[in-house]
Structure 1
């Protein structure tokens, strides 16, 4: 009696599953342009590195330990120019612009303050203001879609650039203040004692290669500056705590990819001759062990071996005696 069966062999180039809460970063010490680095990462991993928050930045810095130069990230100029809240929400139904605002008067007015009169004004991120953050009584207030704990605002006095404000709010609170109503606006104005104060609204000109809808930024002071008008790609300066700088995409640097190494999947069809049903308990396990021994003899490593279960729930299917020969097949997912 002959039974045909399928053997599923997954040859893993990397036997580590990516952490669901953090990106898995890989420093590639080959100098490439941003576009070449993107192509490499998409072929070998998932994409150029995306950074969602400070936890990710810490992970990235740990992955780059021992190297202090510049490395490409996956952030690139998109020239969309849309208004966006720092926490990723897009509700801009309420606005309170001052007359003639936003006017982007010097070409750098990408961030928004509430001025002393309670009106909104677009300014350069390098301007120094008070900063308004928001907190929550419940963790899921972060989404502000199904609020179980009402958000409340915290204003910090002092001289903060918009980038410094964003980092501080994300680390110490939930994020920069999202203003959804006149009441929100007046509360923040009061907490700032009529001083100008940053809120979380900014004009977004950047997007991630993968593409992710994350709006965390970790710019170096006075960056991005688009020096020369062609600094359209972003790198991390590992020797300066990983802060970001905009740079011409044609320059060559090492780079970070994220995601696990892609696996190679092979499905191998084979036959066995047996006088007993190999679907019986224990027989299939013994056969799998024998296959693993054979793969070991062939010096094959870093793989996961398992049976492919058929639609009827069986691993092996009986062939009729004298029936047409069943041809084998192989399914491969290249890494």
Structure 2
């Protein structure tokens, strides 16, 4: 295979490679939410966190269609999220927005306005292979989300100014700019027990309803295809814990020594191929005793590119400024990738002889 063919193959694989890093454990003991949380933290990582539909399918296989606690709890603070689970780092509100107590977002004339989730509008999905897809059905926000997840990937997300301009052009090309169109931005007061940033939600149609003003915890409902409902936290029922398959090793080793250690004692040095995986790395890297921590990322000098140990190309990127380019002396000094344990926890390029903590997949 030629170098050009190999690069094209890697690019194609970027859109399909996936690495599931959570393991779910069904605990058939009836406990209230506080007791269940304590049990999970003592024996695993925490009460179950769900990041995406793949996680949801995996979790449902373990619960046998019964009502169980998961780790989502109501707080007093509302935060903006994307339906896909991506953090809301870029916002493009119209002047004076967001205003009021509404929680869903539509786009009109290139800008965003908050509105009631029960309002009906057409919407835009994104599809991993087709890109943006306009759906000319007027439905509420939750129904739009459900349609996009069933038929495409999710409601459209906008992560930066460039994507905002592309979305606006997509709408203008279809002469839709004057109307209200749902996008995937929403806000809610829910937070996962492990403090992760996951914004994945899978509520039943009428939930959460906070009946009686005391339903602050979340269960997977029985006979509901795995969908969720809010319940009082004092109810006693079985629960699901999760175990993160990431572990920080607080030994200072070179990259090659770290690789050998992970493969002998665990599975491998971690590969970070998505925003979701970067969030998990950020959750554990705070335990490190060095300023940076080795990842399974190495520069392949003869191919002039960075690769993960899995052989995958670096599709998702989180490089610190000035890092990630081809080292000038790559043939003289093997460069490897590490994640900073403080600050923005971005990736940096270092000589493999540096001695750092490291993250293994467990």
Q: TM-score range by the shorter chain?
A: 0.5 to 0.7
- Could you say which residue in structure 1 is the equivalent of 2:213? 229
SS of 2:223's equivalent?
Answer: helix
Give the number of the structure with larger relative contact order, counting CA–CA contacts within 8 Å between residues 6 or more apart: 1
| Matching of residue 188 in structure 1 with residue 171 in structure 2 | yes
Q: CA deviation at 1:48?
A: 0.7
- Could you say which residue in structure 2 is the equivalent of 1:317? none
Please say if residues 86 and 200 of structure 1, whose CA atoms lie closer than 8 Å, have aligned partners that are also in contact: yes
Please say if residues 155 and 191 of structure 1, whose CA atoms lie closer than 8 Å, have aligned partners that are also in contact: no
Which residues of 2 match residues 144-159 of structure 1 at below 5 A? 152-159=131-138
What is the distance in 1 between the residues matched to 2:220 and 2:171? 34
- Could you say which residue in structure 1 is the equivalent of 2:116? 124
Structure label with greater radius of gyration: 1
Unmatched segments (≥5 aa) in structure 2:
1-17, 246-362
- Could you say which residue in structure 2 is the equivalent of 1:38? 37
- Could you say which residue in structure 1 is the equivalent of 2:104? 111
Please say if residues 34 and 250 of structure 1, whose CA atoms lie closer than 8 Å, have aligned partners that are also in contact: yes
SS of 2:22's equivalent?
Answer: coil
Match of 2:89 among 88, 91, 102: 91
SS of 1:249's equivalent?
Answer: coil
Relative to structure 1, the CA distance from residue 192 to residue 172 in structure 2 (aligned partners, 3 Å threshold; closer, same or farther) is farther
Which residues of 2 match residues 277-292 of structure 1 at below 5 A? none
SS of 2:57's equivalent?
Answer: helix
Q: CA deviation at 1:195?
A: 4.2
CA RMSD after TM alignment:
2.8
Please say if residues 83 and 201 of structure 2, whose CA atoms lie closer than 8 Å, have aligned partners that are also in contact: no
Relative to structure 1, the CA distance from residue 200 to residue 191 in structure 2 (aligned partners, 3 Å threshold; closer, same or farther) is farther
SS of 1:37's equivalent?
Answer: helix
- Could you say which residue in structure 1 is the equivalent of 2:152? 173
TM-score normalised to the size of structure 2? 0.54
- Could you say which residue in structure 2 is the equivalent of 1:197? 181
Please say if residues 54 and 171 of structure 1, whose CA atoms lie closer than 8 Å, have aligned partners that are also in contact: no
Once the two structures are superposed, residues 237-267 of structure 1 have per-residue CA deviations (whole angstroms, 9 ceiling, x without a partner) of: 0311111111221222211112289xxxxxx
Which residues of 2 match residues 240-279 of structure 1 at below 5 A? 240-259=224-243
Once the two structures are superposed, residues 8-48 of structure 1 have per-residue CA deviations (whole angstroms, 9 ceiling, x without a partner) of: xxxxxxxxxxx951532222222211111111111122211
- Could you say which residue in structure 1 is the equivalent of 2:76? 79
Once the two structures are superposed, residues 43-96 of structure 1 have per-residue CA deviations (whole angstroms, 9 ceiling, x without a partner) of: 12221111111122222221112x43x211111123332222233133324x24
Relative to structure 1, the CA distance from residue 36 to residue 59 in structure 2 (aligned partners, 3 Å threshold; closer, same or farther) is same
Please say if residues 129 and 161 of structure 1, whose CA atoms lie closer than 8 Å, have aligned partners that are also in contact: yes
Q: CA deviation at 1:182?
A: 4.6
What is the distance in 2 between the residues matched to 1:190 and 1:225? 39
SS of 1:131's equivalent?
Answer: strand
Q: After the TM superposition, which segments of 4 or more aligned residues of structure 1 sit over 6 Å from their partners?
A: none
